[in-house]
Amino acid sequence: MTAYAWLLVALPLAGAAVLLLGGKRTNAWGHLLGTAMSLGSFGVGVATLIEMLAKTAEERETIIHLWDWIVVGTFHVPVALQLDQLSISFVLLITGVGSLIHIYSIGYMAHDENRRKFFAYLNLFIAAMLVLVLANNYMLLYVGWEGVGLASYLLIGFWIHKPSAATAAKKAFVVNRVGDVGLSLAVMLMFTAFGTVTFGEVNAAAESASTQTATWIGLALLLAACGKSAQFPLQSWLLDAMEGPTPVSALIHAATMVTAGVYLIARSHAIYDIAPIAQTAVIVIGGITLIMGAIIGTAKDDIKKGLAGSTMSQIGYMILGVGLGPVGYVFALFHLITHGFFKAGMFLGAGSVMHGMHDDVNMRHYGNLRTAMKITYATFGMGFLAIIGIPPFAGFWSKDEIIRAAFSHSPLTGIVTLIGAGITAFYMTRMMAMTFFGTARWQDDVHPHESPKSMTIPMMILSIGSAFGGMLLLFVANIESWLEPVVGFEHAHGGPDSSVLIPVTLTIVAIGAMMGWVQYAKREVPLLAPTDVSIFTKAARADLYGDTFNEAVFMRPGQYLTRSLVYVDNKVVDGVVNGTAGLVGVVAAQLRRTQTGFVRSYALVMVLGVVVIGAIAAIVGMA
């Protein structure tokens, strides 16, 4: 089956092509085809995994060469897939969760007239994401990277008739371009330093590279990761991305695409291993985002935005984890997979709640839904227990390992992860309490009801993953030794022992959860958000001023420069984008005046050019 691994990408790609090119003719069965293609891809993934399991650990890495993409002189970029323990794990996560979300969307999008297009974009996303994780070189990864960005943009703006959706799509587009600059810089630096962009060769060459080179490449890759994974300071787009349909938020903006940054750093582990400065930067970014996302999560009344803040925070954990080096890679990836299960499950649960509540996202209008939506309540509850880290649910195992690894790095990083765990428990309990407990605060014409089977069955499957996935991966699949050949693994040394750490963590989680319970389940939740709140709450509600920051740092100077450009048409100029190119704009506005429109002045420039060229040639000739 390994030889047919290209089918992994080809199936969903073919699905997208048929649905997009087939037009309205495919309306009747388009969603079924899309789902079948995703399931087919999952099937190929499982078959490949079985084949891989039969081999010894050293033989598991297979490169499937498809064709030569660019061959110029000594430079060689193939289109080749790298199948190893890391990529197959991602393949199963993407196609598995992806297929469930396809099934869920059949019900969720049943009344949308553009359902076919939605499935086409979903298939496109699956294909691009698989290219991203299966590529055996950075150039092909870049293709997938841009592909998922495109699919994400199309899906955020799926309801383009809503101005907020269009704005959110635009924001995601622009912010992600900033991150992409990082990736293209990294690729160019690699090419310059190592003369190759293949993972294997780069990792081999990195061992003998200078620390300075590795640091620059590492920082450029981190910038890329920040953009795609919504890490500080490029986090602002993720909250707005919730304007997209909920299955999209579950698949792309929780389970898969936003974790691409973690994947990128884990893939480039050889570079980070010799660049301590870059590693520290990764830890700092991860730590900041971890706390920031959690704080934002505490203040949101919109259930999806609350979950988005939580996603930022959890990815912060992963980024921090991969920043720790060999003690952290495996566990960051472990957390990535368990997070994929429970966060996707909770997003689908949120979608189910919205489905029953007339698309109302305000949690202040929920309450006591456990009576009306039993399955949603149960599955969401499993995800809740998993994310706050109650044993034996999935999140406990993975988060606990990251916290331990963080303590082995330094007490400070350890404490940051602990505080994060506490806040997580608080805001998740708040969300749980406001949605499913307390008194019913439903609007008048709302009659909550359970969602159809096509929606609840994927939720149930994911909740099983949330419950047992952690144990399965840790004890049955033995994830440490599974991933070790690819990213390396060391046991954490130093720091407090687990016998101390687990009780401490659980105590902090319990305190957080208790505070949330007391405030939001025991007391009455006001229908309108209180306005006489502390400045901290205000800050959290305003996404910790992420947009204000962007505006002040990127947009304002840009707009100022723009206004000074007399010749540049204001209609043409987009403030945000132009900010980065302000200087070029000023120079350009001056330079374009050399184009006077007089043919004689053009001739004069030519003659001057001849004279200068002659002078240069004469000087060179004399030298």
Residues that bind another protein (CB under 8 A): 67-75, 139, 142-143, 146, 160, 166, 169-170, 173-174, 177, 181, 188, 191-192, 565, 567-569, 571-572, 574, 577-578, 580-581, 584-585, 587-589, 591-600, 602-610, 612-614, 616-617, 619-621
* Dist CA 512 CA 419 (whole Å): 10
Judged by DSSP in three states, 313 sits in helix
Nearest 5 degrees, angle CA 475-CA 477-CA 478? 60
Nearest C-alpha neighbor of 81 from the set 30, 23, 10: 10
Residue 46: is it exposed, middle or buried by C-beta count within 10 angstroms (0-12/13-18/19+)?
A: middle
Task: Pick the closer one to another protein by CB: 533 or 607.
Answer: 607
Task: Pick the closer one to another protein by CB: 29 or 75.
Answer: 75
Find residue 63's DSSP bridge partners.
82
Smallest gap, in angstroms, from Cβ of residue 581 to another protein? 5
Contacts of 48 (CB under 8 A, 6+ apart): 1, 2, 5, 8, 83, 88, 91
Smallest gap, in angstroms, from Cβ of residue 190 to another protein? 13
Smallest gap, in angstroms, from Cβ of residue 197 to another protein? 11
Task: Pick the closer one to another protein by CB: 169 or 540.
Answer: 169
Task: Pick the closer one to another protein by CB: 26 or 89.
Answer: 26
Task: Pick the closer one to another protein by CB: 552 or 608.
Answer: 608
Task: Pick the closer one to another protein by CB: 29 or 602.
Answer: 602
Write the DSSP string, 352-411: HHHHHTTT--BGGG---TTTT-HHHHHHHHHHHHHHHT-TTSHHHHHHHHHHHHHHHH-H
Nearest 5 degrees, angle CA 29-CA 30-CA 35? 100
- Written as six digits, the tokens of 526 are 């006001």
Smallest gap, in angstroms, from Cβ of residue 210 to another protein? 17
Task: Pick the closer one to another protein by CB: 111 or 571.
Answer: 571
CA dihedral over 543, 302, 254, 124, signed as positive or negative: negative
Task: Pick the closer one to another protein by CB: 135 or 275.
Answer: 135
- 351, 452 Cβ separation under 8 angstroms: no
Q: Which helix (H) or strand (E) holds 76?
A: strand 75-83
Other CB atoms within a 10 A radius of the CB of residue 476 amount to 9
Residue 381: is it exposed, middle or buried by C-beta count within 10 angstroms (0-12/13-18/19+)?
A: middle
Task: Pick the closer one to another protein by CB: 169 or 406.
Answer: 169
- 148, 125 Cβ separation under 8 angstroms: yes
Smallest gap, in angstroms, from Cβ of residue 309 to another protein? 25
Smallest gap, in angstroms, from Cβ of residue 575 to another protein? 11
Smallest gap, in angstroms, from Cβ of residue 95 to another protein? 22
Nearest C-alpha neighbor of 44 from the set 86, 91, 93: 91
* Dist CA 205 CA 194 (whole Å): 6
Smallest gap, in angstroms, from Cβ of residue 212 to another protein? 17
Find residue 65's DSSP bridge partners.
80
Task: Pick the closer one to another protein by CB: 211 or 595.
Answer: 595
Smallest gap, in angstroms, from Cβ of residue 142 to another protein? 6
Smallest gap, in angstroms, from Cβ of residue 620 to another protein? 5
